[in-house]
């Protein structure tokens, strides 16, 4: 059922929750949302509200926002099981890499690496069309929503036709992903990637020709048209962002061009940074500087910058990223899968950088696995447990990841986007877990209900409009490889 917003109190803190005990008191303070807006009330036994675990509590939503959080009193529309958490964000996605899952482990004969994996990735990239890319995006984003992700940063460089030909619409591939996100009901930041070279003083190879606009100015001219072309987003915002693929793929002279464009456009700026030792070695050989120093010299480091991976950094690199208050998007499951190495996450946090999380190649689609991976990586590197508390892991997986892609979501509070996830607390995995230590035991299979923009998008692993993500994925991946 729905009720007028005028009957709601915008109560947000646990202390305030305790002070409001009756419907009359609840009605004494009103939300700024229009009084006649339809409201949906979700009742939660337990919820993480404004930084604290509390409950029972009602979350009331209208016009895609949380308009009130208060005691569980009166009528409600839906009872959410288990523990309700803010919606997760995947701050670094390559959606088409999902087509590689389970296909890159058989032929390495003990000498496999990121670079051998990349050959298989290019084989898939060469095949995709706007139609097959759209179908794959629908399937991948459906899997993500069902797993508890409510927003994604798509690191997008499949701009043009295979071999470098041009589509009639130069943004055809990016718009295919944006349309898919809108259909699925997931927030999207389309991080449009500048990709101009095959390495330091190396030309693009044939597979990379579809990634490039030829020049930094050509890239900027195309991306400037993107915001107005994107769908508005029925359930969550669809926005544009900017990206530098890496310092090996954007010549040193062009780095400031991309950085200035992102700054003047108010876009977040993402960049692959020092994922591989080979990148560092090539940068030092060609320029005498580390990749991080190159970005800093180009004016590309700021609090709107997100450095992805940041695996192999010097102490000076860490200081530069911390001083800029940049985000560091760590992708634990992909970094393990590709044998990248372990980032110095705790040192980055101490230096002042903000830690976020990404799924990257979608080797697994599970926000809990990504969050645990951050802590587990630190344990493996240091021999110390508990560097990142469950609260810190939740912050990285929600609010920090959302901020890194320009989203204001990631918290349950009045005025925030109404994006949240109900996680079962009595499954074979989660039974007995205490409080937010649920993050160390749960999996995507424990996600019971996913709400985006105040509307239920998925229940128990099935999308409410699109159905079983497994069937969508099987069909889309088969079509992608057969093209």
Q: Rounded to an integer, what distance in angstroms lies between the CA atom of residue 189 and that of residue 90?
A: 10
The pLDDT mean for the chain works out to 93
Q: Which residues pair with 205 in a beta bridge?
A: none
Q: Is the pTM of the predicted complex or chain greater than 0.75? A: yes
List the structure tokens of 397.
Answer: 């997986």
What are the tens digits of pLDDT across the range 87-116?
999 999 999 999 999 999 886 666 678 878
List the structure tokens of 53.
Answer: 């675990």
pLDDT > 70: what percent of the chain?
A: 92
Q: What pLDDT, on a 0 to 100 scale, did the predictor assign at position 9?
A: 34
Task: Sort strands 40-49 and 57-62 into parallel, antiparallel or unpaired.
Answer: antiparallel
Domain boundaries, the chain: 88-409
Q: Rounded to an integer, what distance in angstroms lies between the CA atom of residue 161 and that of residue 65?
A: 39
Instruction: Assign 222 to helix, strand or coil.
Output: helix
Structural Rg of the chain based on CA atoms? 22
Q: Which residues pair with 326 in a beta bridge?
A: none
Q: Which of 351, 193, 358, 197 is nearest to 268 (CA)?
A: 193
Residues in the chain: 483
What are the tens digits of pLDDT across the range 311-361?
999 999 999 999 999 999 999 999 999 999 999 999 999 999 999 999 999
What are the tens digits of pLDDT across the range 388-440?
999 999 999 999 999 999 999 999 999 999 999 999 999 999 999 999 999 99
Q: How confident is the model at residue 32 (pLDDT cuts 50, 70, 90)?
A: low
Domain 88-409 has CATH 3.60.20.10: no
């Amino acid at each position: 059922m729905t009720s007028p917003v005028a009957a709601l109190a915008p109560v947000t803190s646990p202390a305030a929750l305790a002070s409001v005990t009756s419907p009359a008191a609840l009605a004494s303070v009103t939300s700024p949302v229009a009084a006649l807006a339809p409201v949906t009330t979700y009742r939660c036994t337990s919820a993480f509200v404004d930084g604290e675990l509390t409950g029972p509590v009602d979350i009331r939503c209208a016009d895609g926002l949380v308009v009130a959080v208060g005691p569980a009193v009166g009528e409600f529309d839906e009872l959410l099981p288990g523990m309700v958490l803010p919606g997760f964000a995947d701050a670094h996605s390559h959606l088409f890499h999902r087509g590689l899952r389970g296909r890159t482990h058989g032929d390495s004969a003990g000498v496999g690496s990121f670079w051998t994996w990349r050959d298989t990735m290019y084989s898939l990239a060469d095949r995709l069309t706007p139609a097959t890319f759209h179908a794959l995006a629908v399937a991948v984003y459906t899997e993500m929503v069902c797993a508890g992700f409510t927003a994604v940063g798509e690191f997008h460089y499949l701009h043009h036709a295979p071999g470098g030909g041009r589509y009639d619409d130069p943004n055809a591939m990016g718009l295919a992903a944006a349309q898919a996100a809108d259909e699925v009901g997931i927030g999207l930041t389309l991080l449009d990637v500048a990709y101009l070279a095959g390495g330091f003083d190396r030309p693009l190879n044939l597979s990379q020709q579809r990634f490039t606009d030829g020049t930094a100015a050509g890239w900027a001219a195309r991306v400037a048209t993107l915001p107005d072309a994107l769908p508005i987003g029925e359930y969550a915002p669809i926005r544009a962002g900017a990206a530098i693929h890496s310092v090996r793929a954007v010549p040193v002279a062009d780095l400031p061009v991309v950085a200035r464009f992102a700054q003047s456009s108010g876009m977040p700026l993402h960049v692959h940074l020092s994922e591989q030792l080979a990148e560092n070695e090539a940068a030092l050989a060609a320029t005498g500087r580390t990749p991080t120093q190159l970005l800093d010299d180009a004016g590309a480091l700021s609090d709107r910058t997100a450095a992805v991976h940041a695996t192999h950094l010097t102490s000076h690199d860490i200081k530069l990223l911390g001083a800029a208050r940049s985000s560091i998007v760590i992708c634990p499951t992909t970094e393990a899968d590709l044998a990248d190495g372990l980032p110095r996450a705790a040192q980055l946090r101490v230096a002042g950088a903000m830690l976020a999380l990404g799924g990257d190649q979608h080797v697994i689609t599970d926000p809990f696995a990504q969050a645990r991976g951050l802590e587990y990586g630190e344990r493996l590197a240091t021999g110390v447990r508990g560097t990142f508390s469950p609260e810190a892991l939740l912050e990285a997986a929600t609010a920090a990841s959302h901020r890194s892609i320009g989203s204001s979501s990631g918290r349950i509070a009045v005025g925030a986007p109404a994006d949240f996830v109900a996680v079962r607390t009595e499954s074979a995995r989660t039974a007995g877990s205490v409080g937010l230590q649920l993050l160390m035991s749960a999996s995507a299979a424990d996600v019971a209900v996913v709400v985006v923009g105040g509307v239920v998008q998925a229940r128990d692993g099935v999308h409410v409009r699109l159905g079983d993500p497994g069937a969508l994925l099987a069909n889309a991946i088969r079509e992608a490889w057969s093209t």
